[in-house]
């Protein structure tokens, strides 16, 4: 059989997990297309399949294995490449999945074209990885052509040690791009017709850490936001997620007055119980979180606020969960992203007892998802009969198109080609 690069022409991608992964998958796609590959849909037959994995929950691991089995049934002769967080954390486990040919860790994913050159189907799975302590470079990534909103990666890694989280083990220490480089990329994206940029990272508020030219960086997320606000051609920026202890009052007040940053924050809470926050090793208490929400709503009453919350963390009692539920019920937030705690190898949460039974975790998840539905409904109703600008995306299902207001209210309407990637004044009804 010929070496892969002499015969392969098509590649398909699938992304599991966060917006950061979407930006990196898009960059991997461009790298391979520049090397002569033709991109295909993941449901089509391709010569190479690349799965960019997440490992935040056990479901993400299971989904990766399921996708490999699906490829094996559809195209048993195709190459299968696994990268992303799961690949960094458990490369041997992935290499033992039937059908996997190449496993790329955090330091090697952007060298994918080189690794594919001498790969031959039928050989044992090749692992290209290193200790996460050795991963210290920043690789810029952004998604483009995949969706109207572009995900622009400006930060990677995390220095926090939250008890439930494997991300520092999968992505390494906190490190960032420079303000100047991000501004240049925003200008290039604007020249390509991009209207909205979603700033992404593992710990976005930690932007500015790292080294450049042997010198320690001395920049901040606030400085980045100020610089981006001056870039002509970009109509909208969104902050994908920012820790409450890193969301400074000056950032909130800046967004309130900004020309281009949207009135929309996504702020991880994880628990509304101070006892559980302590066991999670989070760097704030619920009182600080409430203060941040109150300030946002004071200066931007129309602002959307999304919340990440974990249910079923070890030792979370009925009383602890009720604290979380009541705290969120009374908080002026717009929607919740609810995660059911799942055990992750090598995390300190495994040492905390008692373990919450899985059915209890699932019931708590259901209760918070119902609360989220009510919150979103109430937030939307508050803005009925208002006219807000909507950025419409491309054709969706059943001849409809979708878009979002500045404050992240979803709008669906019959497809109109002339509205694609355009800001339209829309009366909410």
pLDDT for residue 1 = 46
Q: Please report, in tens digits, the pLDDT of each residue of the chain (429 residues total).
A: 445 545 668 999 999 988 899 999 999 999 999 999 999 999 999 999 999 998 776 777 789 999 999 999 999 999 999 999 989 999 999 999 999 999 999 989 999 999 988 787 877 889 998 788 888 889 999 997 656 789 999 999 999 999 999 999 999 999 999 999 999 999 999 999 999 999 999 999 999 987 666 677 789 999 999 999 999 999 999 999 999 999 999 999 999 999 999 999 999 999 999 999 999 999 999 999 999 999 999 999 999 999 999 999 999 999 999 999 999 999 999 999 999 999 999 999 999 999 999 999 999 999 999 999 999 999 999 999 999 999 998 767 788 999 999 999 999 999 999 999 999 999 999
d(CA 277, CA 285): 7
Distance (Å, whole) CA 20 – CA 17 = 8
Check residue 111 and give its pLDDT.
93
**Angle CA 154–156–157, to nearest 5:** 160
Q: Give CA–CA dist 164/105, Å, rounded.
A: 21
Cα(409)–Cα(334) distance, integer angstroms: 10
pLDDT on residue 2: 45
Integer angstrom CA distances of residue 429 from 182, 382, 385, 387, 412: 38, 11, 6, 9, 11
The predicted model scores a pTM of 0.91
d(CA 168, CA 350): 17
With the C-alpha atoms ordered 28, 30, 32, 35, is the resulting torsion angle positive or negative?
negative
* DSSP annotation string for 313-379: -TT--HHHHHHHHHHHHHS--SEEEEEE----TT-GGGG-SSPPPHHHHHHHHHHHHHHHHHHHHHH
Cα separations in angstroms, 368 against 176, 386, 408, 413: 34, 28, 20, 29
3-state secondary structure of 268: strand
pLDDT at 134: 80
Distances (CA, A) of 400 to 384, 390, 409, 425, 428: 21, 15, 16, 18, 17
97 token code pair: 């999945």
């Amino acid at each position: 059989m010929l070496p892969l690069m002499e015969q392969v022409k098509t590649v398909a991608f699938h992304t599991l997990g966060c917006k950061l992964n979407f930006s990196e998958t898009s960059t991997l796609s461009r790298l391979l297309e520049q090397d002569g590959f033709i991109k295909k849909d993941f449901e089509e037959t391709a010569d190479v399949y690349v799965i960019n994995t997440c490992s935040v929950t056990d479901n993400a691991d299971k989904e990766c294995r399921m996708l490999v089995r699906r490829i094996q049934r559809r195209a048993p002769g195709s190459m299968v490449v696994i990268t992303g967080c799961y690949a960094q954390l458990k490369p041997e486990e992935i290499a033992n999945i039937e059908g996997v040919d190449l496993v790329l860790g955090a330091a090697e994913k952007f060298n994918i074209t080189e690794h594919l050159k001498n790969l031959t189907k039928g050989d044992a799975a090749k692992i290209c990885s290193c200790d996460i302590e050795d991963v210290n470079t920043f690789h810029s990534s952004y998604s483009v052509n995949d969706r109207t909103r572009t995900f622009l990666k400006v930060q990677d890694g995390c220095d926090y040690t939250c008890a439930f989280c494997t991300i520092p083990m999968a992505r390494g220490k906190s490190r960032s791009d420079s303000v100047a480089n991000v501004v240049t990329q925003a200008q290039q994206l604007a020249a390509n017709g991009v209207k909205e940029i979603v700033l992404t990272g593992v710990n976005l508020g930690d932007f500015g850490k790292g080294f450049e030219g042997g010198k320690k960086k001395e920049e901040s997320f606030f400085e980045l936001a100020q610089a981006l606000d001056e870039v002509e051609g970009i109509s909208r920026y969104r902050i994908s997620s920012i820790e409450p202890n890193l969301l400074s009052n000056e950032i909130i007040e800046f967004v309130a007055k900004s020309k281009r940053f949207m009135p929309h924050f996504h702020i991880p809470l994880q628990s509304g119980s101070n006892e559980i926050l302590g066991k999670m090793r989070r760097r704030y208490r619920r009182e600080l979180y409430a203060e941040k929400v109150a300030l946002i709503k004071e200066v931007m009453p129309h602002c959307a606020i999304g919340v990440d919350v974990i249910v079923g963390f070890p030792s979370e009692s009925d009383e602890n969960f009720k604290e979380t539920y009541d705290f969120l019920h009374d908080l002026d937030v717009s929607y919740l992203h609810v995660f059911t705690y799942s055990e992750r190898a090598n995390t300190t949460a495994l040492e905390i007892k008692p373990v919450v039974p899985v059915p209890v975790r699932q019931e708590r998840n259901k209760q918070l998802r119902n609360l989220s539905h009510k919150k979103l409904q109430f937030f939307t109703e508050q803005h009925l009969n208002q006219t807000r600008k909507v950025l419409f995306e491309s054709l969706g299902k059943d001849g409809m198109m979708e878009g979002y207001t500045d404050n992240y209210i979803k709008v669906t309407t019959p497809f109109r080609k002339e509205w694609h990637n355009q800001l339209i004044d829309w009366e909410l009804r």
